[in-house]
Structure 1
Amino acid sequence: MEKKQLKNTVLTEVAWEVCNQVGGIYTVIRSKVPVMIDKWGDNYLLLGPYIHHNVATDFESAESDDSNMSKAVDRLREMGLEVHYGTWLVSGRPKTVLFNPYSVMHELGNIKYFYNQNHHIDFKNHDPLLDQVLAFGYMVKIFLSELTRICLDDGVQVISHFHEWMAGTAIPDLRKEQIPVKTVFTTHATMLGRYLAMNDPFFYDHLPFLNWEVEAKNFNIDAVVRLERACAHGSHIFTTVSDVTGQECIHLLGRAPDQILPNGLNIERFSVLHEVQNIHQKYKTKIQHFVMGHFFQSYSFELDKTLFFFTSGRFEYRNKGYDLALEALARLNWKMKEANSDMTVVMFIVTKQPVHSISPHVLNSRAVLEEIDDNCDSILKLVKKKLFQHAASNQEDHRLPSLNDMVDDYWRLRYRRTIQSWKTGNLPSVVTHNLVDDTNDAVLQFLRNSNLVNKAEDRVKFVYHPDFISTSSPLFGLDYGEFVRGCHLGIFPSYYEPWGYTPVECLASGVPAVTSDLSGFGDYIKNVPTGNEEHGMYIVERAKKDFNDSADDLANILFRFVQTTRKERITMRNKSEDLSEVFDWKNLYSEYQKAYLLATESVSIEA
């Protein structure tokens, strides 16, 4: 779509995660903004909730102007609604309208009553999130009604693209009241599918035979599931993010998607290939520093022969494939020991679990290592100073003096005592934090039952980090993106994953990744010619294999990767970035164009 072809069309995108980071949809919306601004210009508007406590850091208010969007905001303010008009402070600076659902909570009883009367959805069970969502949807419906009325007077049509049921609750009312706005609804995952997959090891086999009403009541999510179905059936165009989720929608939502809208990223490429390796080396050095602090007080291993693997995401032990990854790593450990491999693998498990604090032992170990590092710097400065003085003052004797004699007794003693106080006979901890429920944690249960407790003879070591990585954490001193770039392989063998951003982020960072054919991304990339191991993309078969066979496949993949040479890994890193180009929004936006054309049946689309 060229801008000149869109002068008579306004596109609004509605998402609960506009200026409100909760999950993957935040990344979808935020990363897509620059392309949307390029395609739609001032005719693009984002709608979201004004609820996040840090919203002021992401959003900049603007004065009212002559735009139709601003006029609609003014009308809602005249009605007594709290509406904020401005820009989201991300790349592209999109126009944004945020609604405070608490400003209409006094109407919540009426909102629920009429929703039940009009759409036969009962909200008798109290749910604070659902209350917020319904109030937000009520405000969005009023806004779109006013915006459409204003735009029609100017001969401008409105398309509204809703993401997920939390943003789509306005759709049924818009259709019932026949507001002339064209609606597109995207479900990024069905609520019922997520619950079922977590509890049914044969979810995909049972899917065609499930009764959605019975299952929704079993999980006590009847109202949300009915809302989701109302959004899917009420929209002009229904879409989802992958063919895998499309099949799920047919059985659980009762409507086949009109269009598949795969998720992308803003792919930033480096102009020279060696820069990818330089950046990897920079952040790998920081991870190595952590590894020394965590492991070397108990025993050491060669860092130049150590690979860093990781997995990350929400803590859904089965859905995210943590269970399969751990089982495969246990088998990898056995394979490496049987092969007498001189390599070491450190596996990082990065997720979010309730914790009390970072383990004092882990913090203390890192602090003492920092002290050793400071001692080394002081000794180096002392030796350099004395060596320079020796060189300058001895004109005839050019022999190198004993460097040991140049270190004062104070620094020798301090250096020795610090190291002695640091060394321990205890095994390195497998978890970096004090968990609220350490006993029942699924990851720790597996590691303990498998006796994978970071013994010196094990070739696979584990670091379970039950908190998201950020620069504010004292353990790594890296943000998540930097941490990813410092690793060698990402492992994401999901059982239930409508799309899956993590492997895409790996590829964009020049890091090879493992995905599964049950994830939307894994299913999609099977049809990409370069989506292969040569380009750093490994796919575990889970759709037609049982858990044991899939674990064997993944263990074999990991063992092959361990056996690659450094030169091969560098080549793969560069080719991974090449593959990531496929998922640049500039290339994927054409699918969105098709959805908007289907919705309006009148918008000219660029070939």
Structure 2
Amino acid sequence: MERKVTEKKKFLVEVAWETCNQVGGIYTVIRTKVPAMVEKWEQDYLLLGPYFKQTAAAEFEPLAIDVETPVGRAIAWMRAQGMEVHYGNWLITGKPKIVLFDLASLMKEVDIVKGRIWENHKISTLGVEELVNQTIIFGELIRLFLGQLAVENKAKKDIIVHFHEWMASTCIPDLRKEKVKISTVFTTHATMLGRYLAGNVPNFYDVLDTFDWHKEAKHYGIEAQASFERAAAQKADVLTTVSDITAKECVAFLGRIPELILPNGLNIQRFAALHEHQNLHSLYKKRISDFVMGHFFQNQPFDLDQTLYLFTSGRFEYSNKGYDLTLDALEILNRKMKESGSRKTVIMFFITKQPYHSIDPEVLHSRAVLDEIRENCQAIEKEVGEKLFQASAASKDLTLPDLNDFVGEYWRLRLRRTVQTWKTNARPKVVTHLLKQEDDIIRNLHRTQLLNHAEDKVKVVYHPDFIVSTNPLFGLDYGQFVRGCHLGVFPSYYEPWGYTPLECMARGVPTVTSDLSGFGDYMMQIMRDYEQWGVSVVNRKTQNYQESAEQLANLLFKFVQQSQRDRIMQRNRVESIADTFDWSNLRGYYDTAHELAVMKRRK
């Protein structure tokens, strides 16, 4: 008689420094993936993160623990030891269960923990910055929790723990040494050394295999961080990363070939009717146009129907994010458009966070006066409309009355004075804020003379802050701003994945990426005709810098020459393939990693 094998149930725990703590891109990865994970795992899914009162107040809902469950008993055990542990729902789509650890409740033990880490794993943590101390205590709290969870579980379920980035993974070596009964997956979204070296070493990818990881880590003052990352990569049951490009860094810096690539996704919002996303584009484009009128029309009016809005965004990493290449390509584009006699105007927005004093008062004032002009015009429109209706009804002939007769002297004078005070001979500002100091973007703009001269076909708006709905210049959140633009430009030199071009696709906006970004590399692998679907890829692997700048300028010039009909069709095509990157389709990569971790631990 054949014996029936019943598969043991599994329980998944995901750990990240950015769980319920928005710092960077990993927050987006975790948050957007949750609904797909909850759909599969239901109650057998738990997230772990650090407790910070300010962020938790907005996103966390506390719940009473259930001591009938292993999770509840593990939390109760930690609380009995004097540690502050919070349990509840993360208030995002899917409402997953989450455990947050208050680092302050164990921070006094940091030197003892650091001593044990040195004794067991020879990872030096002397003189590290406060953030590293926080991650060490975060790791210690996770170690204690997972150790007790494994005890309380009594081997009833296979516990899989998925760690994201080194900041959540300082405990992996200890968990392995103590033989805690869990299966572990470690995902590096970008190596520490890769981020530092790419911005400082010419031809970084060509010499990737020549670096001494420990020597370079010491040189850049990140020995502890790089050591934790390497130890986590080597001690986890399964190592994964987000792209083939970053996999090469894992070999060079972490000493291990990743078993799997886990591409990142988003929750893609699809509309029942295709024209809906076009309607939203038009709505948000008009809001951007309001800003453009306020910023440029004081001195340089142009045809908004012949104007295209391009943008780039992300952390201020001047070379890594390709801001340098974009600026040099814009100089070439400006020249090409002038020489061809193009009737188009390109407005290029740079959206990145930099230190500033305040929004430039002159920029704010210009926008405020434009709003007053609009109010005056709306008042005149109302006055003229009513009088025109009455005159037309009483008219004995079919001629149109003189509309000037319907405008009172008060409104004529007020409108004339408002417009007169608004108009200026000053050149439109390049940067919307008062920066604390000149940076590489400003220096490049002065070198290329892309300073919003009247004859320029390419105008630049540098906005050194995040775009949020409370922003007085746009009144849009970032997603709405993206949807209102015509093209996203992200020719990165170092980009392990690249959410910004993916966010464009999710909103039906064509995008430019590079073959050195994980996203661009992935698109080239899965689609031969990716250009037909609104994705352009700049070759930065085999071309030199100038050749890549010329290629980008040509791609932008080709886009500028498209008709409105062509652009609408392209947006429809982009929107139609966005589902490729929905987490419901990409979750399968994670499922494979989790299964592999269980298989490896059972061997």
TM-score, normalising length from structure 2? 0.97
Cα contact 2:237–2:600 (8 A) shared by 1: no
Cα contact 1:121–1:223 (8 A) shared by 2: yes
Shift of the 602–447 alpha-carbon distance from structure 1 to 2, 3 Å rule, reads closer
Residues in 2 aligned to 1:531 and 1:479: alpha-carbon distance in whole angstroms: 32
Matches within 5 A, 1:62-73: 62-65=63-66, 66-73=68-75
2:119 is matched with: 117
1:430-477 deviation digits (Å, cap 9, x = unpaired): 000001113xx0000000111111011110000000000001110000
State which drifts further: 482-491 or 593-602: 593-602
Residues in 2 aligned to 1:324 and 1:297: alpha-carbon distance in whole angstroms: 30
2:165 is matched with: 164
Shift of 1:271: 1.3
Cα contact 1:148–1:180 (8 A) shared by 2: yes
Residues in 2 aligned to 1:488 and 1:388: alpha-carbon distance in whole angstroms: 39
State which drifts further: 379-388 or 493-502: 379-388
Cα contact 1:19–1:52 (8 A) shared by 2: no
Shift of the 395–352 alpha-carbon distance from structure 1 to 2, 3 Å rule, reads closer
2:543 is matched with: 545
Match of 1:498 among 496, 499, 503: 496
Q: Secondary structure at the match of 2:365?
A: helix
Structure 1 stretches lacking a partner, 5+ long: none
Cα contact 1:69–1:147 (8 A) shared by 2: yes
Letter in 2 for 1:577: E
Letter in 2 for 1:424: T
Shift of 1:322: 0.4
Q: Secondary structure at the match of 1:601?
A: helix
Residues in 1 aligned to 2:7 and 2:400: alpha-carbon distance in whole angstroms: 77
Matches within 5 A, 1:87-106: 87-106=89-108
2:572 is matched with: 574
Residues in 1 aligned to 2:352 and 2:58: alpha-carbon distance in whole angstroms: 25
1:469 is matched with: 467
Shift of 1:395: 6.1
Cα contact 2:329–2:552 (8 A) shared by 1: yes
Letter in 2 for 1:131: N
Letter in 1 for 2:408: D
Shift of the 272–294 alpha-carbon distance from structure 1 to 2, 3 Å rule, reads same
Residues in 1 aligned to 2:427 and 2:558: alpha-carbon distance in whole angstroms: 28
1:129 aligns to 2:127 (yes or no): no
Count of aligned residue pairs for this structure pair: 596
Structure 2 stretches lacking a partner, 5+ long: 1-5
State which drifts further: 338-347 or 52-61: 52-61
Matches within 5 A, 1:511-526: 511-526=509-524
Letter in 2 for 1:57: A
1:166-215 deviation digits (Å, cap 9, x = unpaired): 00111111001110111000000000110000101211111111111111
Residues in 2 aligned to 1:419 and 1:145: alpha-carbon distance in whole angstroms: 70
Cα contact 1:6–1:40 (8 A) shared by 2: no
1:263 is matched with: 264
Cα contact 2:34–2:93 (8 A) shared by 1: yes
Tell me the C-alpha RMSD between the 2 structures: 1.4
1:331 aligns to 2:332 (yes or no): yes
Shift of 1:53: 1.8
1:484 aligns to 2:482 (yes or no): yes
Cα contact 1:192–1:225 (8 A) shared by 2: yes
1:410 is matched with: 410
Cα contact 1:531–1:579 (8 A) shared by 2: no
Shift of 1:52: 5.4
Matches within 5 A, 1:353-502: 353-392=354-393, 394=394, 396-397=396-397, 399-438=399-438, 441-502=439-500
Q: Secondary structure at the match of 1:199?
A: coil
Shift of 1:520: 0.7
Cα contact 2:512–2:536 (8 A) shared by 1: yes
Matches within 5 A, 1:35-50: 35-50=36-51
Letter in 1 for 2:464: P
Matches within 5 A, 1:14-33: 14-33=15-34
State which drifts further: 405-414 or 578-587: 578-587
Cα contact 2:468–2:478 (8 A) shared by 1: yes
1:63-93 deviation digits (Å, cap 9, x = unpaired): 1123322221111111111110001000000
Residues in 2 aligned to 1:283 and 1:486: alpha-carbon distance in whole angstroms: 4
1:104-144 deviation digits (Å, cap 9, x = unpaired): 01111101111111110111113110011001000001000
Residues in 2 aligned to 1:162 and 1:195: alpha-carbon distance in whole angstroms: 22
Cα contact 2:8–2:158 (8 A) shared by 1: no
1:592 aligns to 2:590 (yes or no): yes
Residues in 2 aligned to 1:217 and 1:205: alpha-carbon distance in whole angstroms: 22
1:529 aligns to 2:530 (yes or no): no
Residues in 1 aligned to 2:473 and 2:110: alpha-carbon distance in whole angstroms: 45
Q: Secondary structure at the match of 1:169?
A: coil
1:351 is matched with: 352
TM-score, normalising length from structure 1? 0.96
Residues in 2 aligned to 1:436 and 1:307: alpha-carbon distance in whole angstroms: 30
Cα contact 1:512–1:536 (8 A) shared by 2: yes
2:247 is matched with: 246
